[in-house]
Amino acid sequence: MSSSQVPRVSVLMTTYNGARTISDSVMSIATQEMTDFELIVLDDASSDATPAILRNFTDPRLIIVRSERRLGIAGARNRGILHCRAPYIAAIDHDDLSDPDRLGLQAAYLDAHSDVVAVGTSVRELRNGAMTPEDQPARTSPALLRFLLHFDNPLAWSSVMLRANVIRKLVPPPLRPAFEPADDFDLYHRLLACGEIARIDAPLTTYRWHAANASHAAALRIADNAARVLAQSYSAWLGAEAAAAAALVVRHGNERVAVGDRATMTRLRSIVHRVAEGLAAAHPDDRPQIIAGARQVLWRFTRASVRSGHPSLFRPPAPTVDGAISLAIGAMRATFRQQRSC
């Protein structure tokens, strides 16, 4: 590709010591059905075989940019964005995989929806050789995603395609190191002020789970910084309670820790209702979808609690079959816990 020919999509991959997985990740992009793209790989001062592996690729669409000093997750992403020339920027980490039709479907979606500033995809998780679906709703809409972003992160970074002109207009830098490694979650919340965020509900991205994933290796930092993001978003509706509410939501929403007492469940229900009302007031046309999203989030909190052995916290309405199964599981676990304590 000549320097004057601008591709339709720039794919941004950042890597640090990704020798174990990066070859497969690069190939998942190189074999895309849509061929009009460039792949920018920002090597964040890798000290393993990553540079040598990248040099083995001869695809002219691959552009390797090496930093001689560590920039960190957000810093590497920001520097990589500077090298992206296309109107759309697709993200992928060095250990994840894209389905062959991912780039084409996402670019077509952005072409058709001028109000959407970022579009992700559904994700499947590969762990210990087994593939499982992600723990997110099967069907989404921009209105539902806006609501869900206030209680969880429903978008994997490796699944997202962004409008380059929008992220470059954000107060620099696009990814803020102060929120790393929840810098993507922070970016999504800032993008909500610029337009809609959508998701293609087909699983076009594979997230490869392993112990070295940044999202697992730095779980405490993610939780703290995700809570800071939510506290900023909650402040208009919850005032002085925003920080405490955000910490509670991150623990039981993002981290999926089951609620074990009625007082905490009551607090969470209050937070969900107040945030839902705040969002519905700001987006009145989306009220039905926001209310539906609130019900989904409340059921997720309740379901986890009941199934962990607290059936007394069950509160209808809930999906009939799932509710009955959850009550049965919770009752058995509660009985087992009582027997062990005797």
pLDDT digits (tens, 9 = 90+) for 233-258: 999 999 999 999 999 999 999 999 99
> What average pLDDT does the structure give for the chain?
92
For strand 37-44 and strand 62-67, is the pairing parallel, antiparallel, or unpaired?
parallel
Residue 205 has pLDDT above 80, yes or no: yes
Reference 198, options 113, 269, 263; nearest CA is 113
Reported as a pLDDT band with limits 50, 70 and 90, residue 262 is: very high
Residue 130: per-residue pLDDT: 86
Give Cα 123 to chain centroid, integer Å.
10
pLDDT digits (tens, 9 = 90+) for 100-147: 999 999 999 999 999 999 999 999 999 888 889 888 999 999 999 999
Reference 87, options 160, 162, 164; nearest CA is 164
The total of other beta-carbon atoms located within 10 Å of residue 308's CB is 19
Q: Please, what's the b/e burial string for 77-101 (b: 16 or more CB within 10 A of its CB; e: otherwise)?
A: bbbbbeebebbbbbbbbbbbbbbee
Residue ranges of domains in the chain: 9-212, 219-341
Reported as a pLDDT band with limits 50, 70 and 90, residue 329 is: confident
What span, in angstroms and rounded, lies between the C-alpha atoms of 291 and 116? 22
Residue 330 has pLDDT above 80, yes or no: no
Note the CATH number of domain 9-212.
Answer: 3.90.550.10
Of the given ranges (93-97, 110-114, 308-312), which has the lowest mean pLDDT? 308-312
Q: Identity (one letter) of the amino acid at 44?
A: D
